[in-house]
Every structure is written in structure tokens, then in C-alpha cells.
Amino acid sequence: KEALIAIEVERKEDSKDQIIADYLNTVYFGNNAYGVEAAAETYFNKSVEDLSLTESATLVGLLWSPSVLGEDPEGAQYQRDLVLTKMFDTGYISSQDYNRALEVPISEDWPANAPTTSGFSGPALTRGFAQYAHDELIQRYGVNTVLQGGLSVYTTIDLQDQISAHEIAYGTSGYLPDADDPDLALVTIEPETGRIKTMVGDRDENSQFNLVTQGRRQPGSSFKPFALIAALEQGIDPDTTYVSEKKEYKVDVGLDRPETWTVQNYDGIVRGRISLKEALWWSDNTVFADLAMNAEGRGLKNGPEKIADVARRCGIITNLPEHPKPSIVLGAYEVSPLDMASAYATIANDGRRVEPTAISKVVSNEGDDDEKVLYVAPEHPEGKQVISEDIADEATGIMIGDVTEGLAKDASLGDRPVAGKTGTSENFFDAWFIGFTPELVTGTWMGYAEGGDTLEYVLEYARKLHELPGGITPAQIWKSYTQVILKDEPIEQFDGVEVPEKVDRSTAPGPGAKNTPAGARKHAPAPPRSRERAPETRRAAAASASASSVSPSRARPARAERAGAARYRDVRTSASPASR
């Protein structure tokens, strides 16, 4: 993917010098320094044109992990020395310059010109969200304006819901309270406005990595709704039947001989003839593979490309290949939880895409004589119609069936309508549920942030394979959270959406969806952290946790009446704007 991005950048810019200049004038160096000029003043209290070889190499080394190395002079010196070594090995500097530069210690004053702490640092509970808002502010007004400070930024976050989400995920009575439990990414968006109401992704309060926005994981079957929409756009009736059985396809991958693609369902389940909508409810891999491969001319024309096109239109901004492999239909390409929630929000919003936002208002010099309101988020943003309303509504109706008839029954809210889709990646490394009511879309991902560990002994449906009780699912977490934040709210219905009729459940399988040759899937051994005890389903006590942060004598106000938004003061920093 990085290679493709590089090629595209070179197409747009004639000069490589200009490419590196653009990069260095905007990239983040830590300590609130955006651009190399700001970094030079922050770390060395001088202009970039006055930097020595050693200082220049130090700044380049910071790019490996700016937030960490900006606070770690020893780590910064180690990275600096690696840069100097590379410069010497490739002939950019002489042996004399190399040895002299290595002998220069990092100053005890690190950074030499520390910036005033920005309000955007935020408390641990909202750090990831605050950084996202900060980045959005820079995209909106540019690095120079933001670094000059003096901005008051009102955000879209609902602090009560944020507390509830964090407690349900990581609280002592939550689903994942222990340090060795899996991690969770959860993000909630208002589909009509794009306003982000909650964003929880980091168990570690000091983490500089936001799982919601920066995490990239395979979405598994939660990607199938984009294939469904592509089918509806090409006039394929969702009641069209296909045969659910193990399949083998020959895929042209540009080599002398085509590649064999073998697809089967979770645990080798064969369902016989089922409809396309039932295939979505039961996460049938083989039917959706037929759809992507246009088997017998009854699937999608240019299937993989059309699926990618729908995903992009809905809001998947991760770089999907121009010509993806058919496995895209099974969620083989990595995406972020924010991408998935944003794309589902487009479906929930009658096919109208509204960009996610963390900012509701921006005021400069608030409280001063020259106070000026720079931005107020529209109550009803126009957005862009990327899927026809009829098709979005039809897709929503079918996705309601995933909760009422299919694998996502753990997410059911009774009389309150819910649409959504589950997803599990290969070997249980990732588990998803993205669900929505008419008011809110919430995406949940569960897995291990550092990767490498399986959820096979954590997920309820995976534990059943080993005849073990207990376990949890992202859909259960989604339900617990949504019940809390929509408590006492009136039940809304999806406009123009037809709820699917009930079907015979006798052929419905257990949950999950995998793409593994028959008999070849081996159960991964239980990770040491999971082997000692079976994780029990925990009922989160988020309501009581929320009560501690609000007045206990006052009833929880309706969502429409709650201000909830956090205000961040973007104070003036000592770093200067980057120059070119």
C-alpha cells in the first residue's frame, strides 16, 4: 500500500525535493511541533537553517516515534546515531563528520524550548479523542494557525457516554477489566451529523496509539454489507438463492497459472440452498464468494472492484487496491474501527455520507474584545448522497435480520430496532460488531492491540468448539453500552425500512465466518493468559459509574438536551510555524 501511495505522490509532484519539503514542513515531531521549523525551535531553540549535522539527524530520528522520543532524550540519541550511521554508510557524510557527530551528547534541556502544554492533551479518558480533534483542527485551519494558539474548541464528545463506554470495557465490573484481557475499540457516531460521541480504544492511559483511528485490522464478515449493496445496485434480488457448500475458484493473479482460492464456512458448515439475505444473516462465506466471483453469471460484474467502490463511497478511507482480490468480500483488507463505523453511518443515514467530526464550534480569542466565532457545525449537514436512499433502506432492513434472525442476536434491544453485522477474522485474531439504531452507530472491535494472540478461548462461539462454557462477544458489549446510553430515550423506528420476515431457524448455524480449507483449520492453543480461567460474561456497571461524575440528585437528561461536549483551550505554544 505504501508503494502505491508513493507512486501516486510522484505522479502529482514533479520534484522529489518538493515532496520531501512538503513532508518535513507538515510532519509531527512531538511536543506539539508540526513541521521542521517548529521542531528546530522546540528542541534546539534555533531556526532550521542554523541546525548542525547532529541536530538535523536528531530531528529525523524523532520521526520514528515523535510522541515517545520527544520525552526520551536517551531514546532520541539512539535514533539519532542510527540516522548518522545510515548517512555514513550511504556516503552522505565523511568518516570525520560521522565520528564527531556521534560524540555530541543530547542536551540536558530536552526539549530546549518546551511548548506550553496545550489543552488538547486532555485527561486520559479522552486523550485519543482530543488528539483526533487536534488533528482535525489542523486539517481545517492549517498548522500555522493552530500553533499560534488562542483557539477555544468545542467538541462533540458526550462525556457521560464516554465514561459509560470506558467502564463497560475496562472498569472493574466491565467485560475486560484485567490487563491481560483483550483490548477493545469502540466509537459512536451520529449518522445524520457525523458527530463523534464516544471514542474508547486505549486501556493504557499513557498509550500514544489510538486503536479507533490508527488500528488497522481485518474486518471479516462485517465487510459483507458492502457486497450486499453492490448486489442491490446491480439489480440482484436479495431473495435470489445460492448453494452453500465448499467452493474452489481459479483466480487470475497475473501469473502463468491462476491461483486456487478455496472457500468454506465457519467450522465447515454446509447449508445447501439459501438466499442472499440469509447468507448475510448467517455469515455464509461460500455464497458471498459466489457473489464476488460472479459464479455462473449470477453474481457481481467486476465483483471485487464494485465491492471496493461501495466501501470507498460509504466512508472506508483506508487505501483499498484498485484491483482487489476476491477475498475482499470476506474482509481480507485491513481497516480502522472509525472507518467501519463511518461507513455504516452512511447506510444508516439513507445512503448519505457525512464526514465524521469531533468539532462542534471554534472560537478565537474567546472572552477578549476581538473574540470571533470561526466555525459552528451545522445541525443538518448536507453530506453527499453516495448510495441511493432506496438501496440503503433495503440494506438496512436486511441488516436488521442479522440481529433478529442471524448471528448478532446478542445485540438485540427488544422493541428498539437494531441493524448491524458481526465479523471475525482468520484464526480469531479480530472480532467485530458494528451496529446501529436510528439515532446512533457504534462500531466495536475486540482483539489484542499488540497482535499475535488469538481470541479462540475468549469468544463465546469459539469456546463452544471446545465444549467450554462462558465467553463474550463484541455484540454483547455493544448491547450493554447501547442500553446504558439510550436508557429512557424514546424508541425510534427506521423510516422507509421494511423489517424482514422470520425464517426457519433449523438450518441456522453457529456464529462466525471463516475462510479455511476443510479439515485444515487447527485450533490454536489457548494463550497463557486465557488458559487458566474461562472468561465469564460480565454485566457492566456503567450506570453507577456515570452517576459518580454527574449530580446524583438529577435524572439523566435526554440526549437532545445534554450539552456533554468537552471544550479544549488551544493555548499559544512557543514553536513557530513551519517555513518552506
183, pLDDT greater than 80: yes
| DSSP output for 210-256 | -TTTT--B--GGGGHHHHHHHHHHTT--TT-EEEES-EEEEE--SSS
pLDDT digits (tens, 9 = 90+) for 55-79: 999 999 999 888 889 889 999 999 9
Please check whether residue 244 is in contact with residue 287, taking contact to mean a CB–CB distance below 8 angstroms: yes
Burial label, 580 (beta-carbon count in 10 A; 0-12, 13-18, 19+): exposed
Q: Report helix, strand or coil for 5.
A: helix
Ramachandran angles phi, psi of 21, nearest 5°:
-65, -45
Q: Report helix, strand or coil for 443.
A: strand
CB atoms < 10 A from the CB of 17, how many? 9
Res 241: pLDDT? 96
Strands 183-189 and 196-200: antiparallel
Q: What is the length of the chain?
A: 580
Please check whether residue 11 is in contact with residue 553, taking contact to mean a CB–CB distance below 8 angstroms: no
Q: Confidence band (pLDDT; 50, 70, 90) for 3?
A: low
CA distance 71 to 92: 29
Burial label, 436 (beta-carbon count in 10 A; 0-12, 13-18, 19+): buried
Rounded percentage of the chain residues whose pLDDT exceeds 90: 59
141, pLDDT greater than 80: yes
Q: Confidence band (pLDDT; 50, 70, 90) for 528?
A: very low
Q: Report helix, strand or coil for 515.
A: coil
**Owner of C-alpha cell 455462473:** 296
Classified by CATH at the fold level, domain 220-351+386-436+452-525 comes out as Beta-lactamase (3.40.710)
- The pTM assigned to this predicted structure is 0.74
pLDDT digits (tens, 9 = 90+) for 195-229: 999 999 878 766 778 999 999 999 999 999 999 99
CA distance 128 to 205: 10
**Owner of C-alpha cell 521542531:** 39
Please check whether residue 68 is in contact with residue 75, taking contact to mean a CB–CB distance below 8 angstroms: yes
CA distance 306 to 351: 16
List the domain boundaries for the chain. 2-102, 220-351+386-436+452-525
| DSSP output for 257-299 | SPEEEEE--GGG---EEEEHHHHHHTT-HHHHHHHHHTGGG-S
Cα dihedral 151, 156, 157, 161 in deg (nearest 10): 160
CA distance 135 to 129: 10
Give the cell for residue 325.
482480490
Please check whether residue 291 is in contact with residue 329, taking contact to mean a CB–CB distance below 8 angstroms: yes
Determine the residue type at 471.
G
Nearest to 533 by CA among 180, 215, 217: 180
Please check whether residue 69 is in contact with residue 76, taking contact to mean a CB–CB distance below 8 angstroms: yes
CB atoms < 10 A from the CB of 189, how many? 29
Query: What sign has the CA pseudo-torsion 78, 84, 90, 95?
Result: negative
Q: What is the mean pLDDT of residues 450-473?
A: 83
Q: What is the mean pLDDT of residues 302-320?
A: 95
CA distance 444 to 337: 7
Please check whether residue 408 is in contact with residue 444, taking contact to mean a CB–CB distance below 8 angstroms: no
What are the C-alpha distances in Å from 274 to residues 164, 242, 341, 508?
A: 40, 6, 28, 10
Please check whether residue 537 is in contact with residue 460, taking contact to mean a CB–CB distance below 8 angstroms: yes
Res 517: pLDDT? 32
Q: Confidence band (pLDDT; 50, 70, 90) for 554?
A: very low
CA distance 506 to 462: 20
| DSSP output for 351-378 | TEE---BSEEEEEESTTSTT-EEEEE--
Lowest mean pLDDT among 229-233, 236-240, 373-377, 548-552: 548-552
Res 121: pLDDT? 53
| β-strand partners of 275 | 241
CA distance 307 to 372: 45
Res 109: pLDDT? 85
Res 565: pLDDT? 55
535, pLDDT greater than 70: no
95, pLDDT greater than 60: yes
CA distance 283 to 305: 21
Q: Which residue has the higher pLDDT, 124 or 162?
A: 162
CA distance 407 to 401: 9
355, pLDDT greater than 50: yes
Average pLDDT, the chain: 84
CA distance 478 to 432: 10
Res 524: pLDDT? 35
Res 2: pLDDT? 60
pLDDT digits (tens, 9 = 90+) for 264-286: 998 789 999 999 999 999 999 99
Q: What is the CATH number of domain 2-102?
A: 1.10.3810.10
CA distance 354 to 345: 8
Helix (H) or strand (E) run with residue 184 in it = strand 183-189
In 290-448, DSSP assigns E strands to 352-353, 359-364, 372-376, 384-385, 419-424, 430-436, 441-447
Q: What is the mean pLDDT of residues 371-395?
A: 96
Q: Confidence band (pLDDT; 50, 70, 90) for 537?
A: very low
